[in-house]
């Protein structure tokens, strides 16, 4: 798990300072691994390039969509996914957007969210994977908030593989694996301030082994 984090991301956690990162780095080296490269700056640059190259008024429209998404998801980050800009949480694209010749597009990187939204997207052309909107009319904040809510609910409802549960603002709430609809292996829970609250394991959906709860200072 540690090798999937960058030094910058670890440094943003409560109680993790340069000394801890140094110790962790040496431990990774002993295992033949290293910290994940922090690509946030380059990803933001790629998004800026995409928007700068987009024609007007699509450019201005998508800049406003991006600003609203980052306002709704302050813990999200710029990324490029499927050759279009997106906002990601923990490397998962939750909201993508694109400029086209005659319209702009919004994509939840999901095949179900637009169908789930149903009549709440009345007035917009939709497909299984996205929403089409006018080149000069950004999607309202209410629509973006709805689509984010549906995407986060989808991520938090997975019955197989990695499940990530989020607070409404995109802060990670809980994360662990699912197997055939049951919690499996090691799980972690976080408070809304980002501090680790609890760690424990499951076996066949039942609690297993030692569970540890932490206070906000990181003490068991």
Model pLDDT, residue 9 = 74
CB 171 within 8 A of CB 192: yes
Model pLDDT, residue 129 = 87
Dihedral class, residue 118 (left if φ above 0, else alpha if ψ from -120 to 50, else beta): left
> pLDDT tens, 12-32?
677 787 778 878 888 887 777
Alpha-carbon distance of 104 to 59, in angstroms, equals 10
H or E element that contains 165 = strand 161-166
pTM of the model: 0.80
| Helix pair angle (58-72, 40-53), 10° resolution | 150
> pLDDT tens, 138-170?
999 999 999 999 999 999 999 999 999 999 999
Model pLDDT, residue 50 = 96
Low-confidence ranges of the chain (pLDDT < 70): 8, 12, 37-41
Model pLDDT, residue 17 = 75
Cα distances from 218 to residues 14, 112, 150, 213, 214, in angstroms, run 8, 38, 32, 9, 5
Model pLDDT, residue 39 = 59
Model pLDDT, residue 40 = 65
Model pLDDT, residue 23 = 86
């Amino acid at each position: 798990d540690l090798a999937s984090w960058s030094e910058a991301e670890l440094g943003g956690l409560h109680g993790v300072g340069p000394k801890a990162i140094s110790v962790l780095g040496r431990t990774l080296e002993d295992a033949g691994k290293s910290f994940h490269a922090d690509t946030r700056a380059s990803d933001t640059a790629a998004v800026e390039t995409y928007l700068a190259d987009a024609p007007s008024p699509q450019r201005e429209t998508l800049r406003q969509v991006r600003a609203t998404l980052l306002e709704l998801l302050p813990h999200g980050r710029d990324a490029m996914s499927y050759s279009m800009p997106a906002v990601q949480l923990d490397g998962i694209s939750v909201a993508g957007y694109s400029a086209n010749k005659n319209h702009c597009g919004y994509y939840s990187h999901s095949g179900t969210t637009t169908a789930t939204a149903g009549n709440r997207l009345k007035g917009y052309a939709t497909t299984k994977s996205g929403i089409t909107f006018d080149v000069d009319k950004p999607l309202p904040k209410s629509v973006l908030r709805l689509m984010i809510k549906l995407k986060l609910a989808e991520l938090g409802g997975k019955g197989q593989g990695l499940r990530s549960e989020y607070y409404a603002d995109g802060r990670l709430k809980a994360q662990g694996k699912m197997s055939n609809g049951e919690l499996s292996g090691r799980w972690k829970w976080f408070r809304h301030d980002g501090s680790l609250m609890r760690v424990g394991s499951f076996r066949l959906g039942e609690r297993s082994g030692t569970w540890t709860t932490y206070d906000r200072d990181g003490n068991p």
